[in-house]
A and B are shown apart, each in its own frame.
Chain A
Amino acid sequence: MENKELFGHIKGWGVDADPKNEPTYPMKKYTGDDHKRLNYDRPTLQPVTNEILHSNERPGVTAVFGTGQPPEGLSGAMRRYAFRYSEGSFSHWLPLLLADRVQMVEALVDDVKKGQIPDLIAEKGYKAEWKYNRAGVIRKGLMLAAVGALVILAVVQRNKRK
């Protein structure tokens, strides 16, 4: 059977078929310019106005960068430590992951200090979960209640034995 008959119902079938699509992206437009390394005209450099950590696999910051959430506190110190190691090292990435969790606690403390108690129900989108997965929420709630009851029961029995 002809391709037209086989695939005629699929809009655009084969319009981008190209036997010359090899080597395809990402080698398709290779220019060789990367052999010149860093000797290219860099864009205008963004002024550095706050602390920007940069990979030690490059000589400095890039021409543009985001400036939000500079490293601060304990999590910031952990991030600074992480950036002493290259991107090929676990000593780079694992402290960063840990710093993310530490900063979460720092942010929670900051919120409480400002008198802003996080609305976990809103932040976690439980309204949507309740709307579209009510049975699941109830099931999860009952499971949590059952686990809680078992823990309380175990503690009470342990105390009785003492």
Chain B
Amino acid sequence: MLAMNYRGPYRIRADRDMPYPEILHPGDAIVKVTRSCICGSDLHLYHGMVPDTRIGTTFGHEFIGTVVETGSEVTRLKTGDNVLVPFNIACGACPFCKQELFGNCHESNPEATAVGGIFGYSHTAGGFNGGQAEYVRVPYADVGPYVIPEWMDMDDAVMLTDVFPTGYQAAEMGGIKMGDTVVVFGAGPIGIMAAKCAWLFGAGRVIVIDHIEYRLEFARQYAQCEAYNFKSLEDPVLFLKKTTDFFGADVCIDAVGCEAAGSALQTITGRKLMLQAGSATALHWAINSVKKGGIVSIVGVYGPTTNMVPIGNVVNKGLTIRANQASVKRLLPRLIDHVQKGHVDPKGLITHRLPLAEVPDAYRIFSSKLDNCIKTVLIP
């Protein structure tokens, strides 16, 4: 079958000889993929920054499709169902899943305890092949996959597998109170979505910080927020202090993660020399820009080793830091309601559609931010 095939940093193939997935567990289903996205966090894999990313892996944790085969224990899904598949692989039975921490399942990733299984996200996340393929194996098919309502646009459905839930949870973890000033670092799809969702929680002011001008303009239009280019600010922390009467933001959201720009020291040690798990510039700014007693919400992805962050300021300012992979299954009913009521238009983030056969070009476009790309959908 046709699938994306990772060959090393910045090298991928659209490979027509990849093996079809098999049912390996009675709770598995095989899904024929109809749409698959490239996520910003896929770029960390593509850039070779995630340990144990083995050659031959198929990426892709944002996908929807049609069930074509089910294992003997699957009762809730049947062949022909159109499903959206949360990016977390979750058993639904362990104490963490019972607590609705579906991104922290204890029964889906043997290789690491810090993170649950994720489709197509290296062996550090369980070694599962992902959905940038014609077919994909979906474990725990009775737990995660959600039958797509008939009224729902398929483009909205694929955005519900990660982007919308992650953006929403970023805002939710911020514990936003009516009238709060919320600063979002990063104007990628997740950052833009987090800014949009901050309004749902009653934010009084939403500010996005990035350095890619076309993305800032997109954020202004899509999320109806303020957006500033940190390259023109000189010192973004000072700017944010000044614009909040020298108090700092009530809530800061890091929606960038380990490939942040903006600090030569962080970039050289984190992205070039890999002496730390990527560049933690956005997190650094978030900690320093939030008010005393404020909340920093982290959804940006970092590697597992270590990062330079001003933890002393976290202590001295009495900050609360909340972070997690989005618990997609937990959020879906609420988010589907938001789509139906027209509060959020997830598909509005999609700017590019390419056939799966052009997956290397699709990665290049997204990675190099070509052609004003915000979000790319692959069609097998």
Contacts and interface: CB of A to CB of B under 8 A. Distances in A.
Interface of A: 3, 6-7, 9-19, 21-22, 24-26, 28-31, 33-34, 36, 40-44, 46-47, 52-55, 57-58, 60-69, 79, 82-83, 87, 90, 93-94, 96-97, 99-101, 103-104, 106-108, 118, 120, 122-129, 132-133
B200 interface: yes
Interface string B352-380: 00000000111111001011000000000
A104 B8 contact: yes
B336 interface: no
Contacts of A15: 200, 343
A108 B370 CA distance: 29
A92 B25 CA distance: 29
Given A87-B112, A100-B51, A128-B361, A68 B127 contact: yes
B350 interface: no
A25 B169 contact: yes
Chain B interface, DSSP helix/strand/loop, else mixed: loop
B200 A33 contact: no
Nearest to B58: A68
A66 B127 contact: yes
8 contacts: A9-B224, A12-B338, A15-B200, A34-B95, A36-B95, A46-B24, A65-B128, A83-B111
A44 B99 contact: no
A126 B364 contact: yes
Most buried by B among A31, A36, A46: A46
Nearest to A48: B110
B95 A33 contact: yes
Nearest to A67: B24
Interface of B: 7-13, 24-28, 48, 51-58, 73, 89, 91, 93-96, 98-101, 104, 106-114, 117, 123-124, 126-129, 139-140, 169, 172-173, 175-178, 199-202, 204, 224, 274, 303-305, 322, 324, 327, 330, 334, 338, 341-344, 360-365, 368, 370-371
Main secondary structure on chain A at its contact with chain B? loop
Contacts of A65: 108-111, 117, 126-128
Contact of A107 (B7, B338, B364): B7
Given A64-B27, A67-B24, A126-B364, A55 B322 contact: no
Given A11-B343, A25-B324, A43-B27, A97 B274 contact: yes
Contacts of B96: 34
Contacts of B224: 9-10
Nearest to B343: A12
A40 B117 CA distance: 19
B202 A124 contact: no
Contacts of B53: 100
Contacts of B73: 44
Contacts of A132: 365, 368, 370-371
Contacts, number: 243
B129 A11 contact: no
Nearest to A52: B110
Contact of B322 (A14, A24, A87, A101): A24
Contacts of A31: 95, 98-99
A103 B11 CA distance: 13
A68 B124 CA distance: 13
Contact of A40 (B58, B95, B140, B200): B95
Contact of A42 (B93, B173, B177, B324): B93
B127 A26 contact: no
Given A12-B341, A128-B365, A24 B173 contact: yes
Contacts of B202: 3, 13-14, 16-17
A124 B364 contact: yes
A65 B334 CA distance: 30
A34 B101 CA distance: 12
Contacts of A13: 199-200, 202
A96 B178 CA distance: 46
Contact of B361 (A63, A69, A93, A125): A125
A56 B91 CA distance: 21
Q: Chain A CB within 10 Å — which of B9, B27, B113 has the most?
A: B113
Contacts of A22: 175
Contacts of B360: 122-125, 128
Given A64-B25, A122-B13, 17 more contacts: A3-B178, A14-B202, A19-B177, A24-B172, A31-B95, A42-B93, A42-B94, A65-B111, A66-B117, A68-B54, A97-B51, A100-B52, A100-B53, A101-B8, A108-B8, A124-B360, A125-B12
Contact of A16 (B7, B11, B101, B200): B200
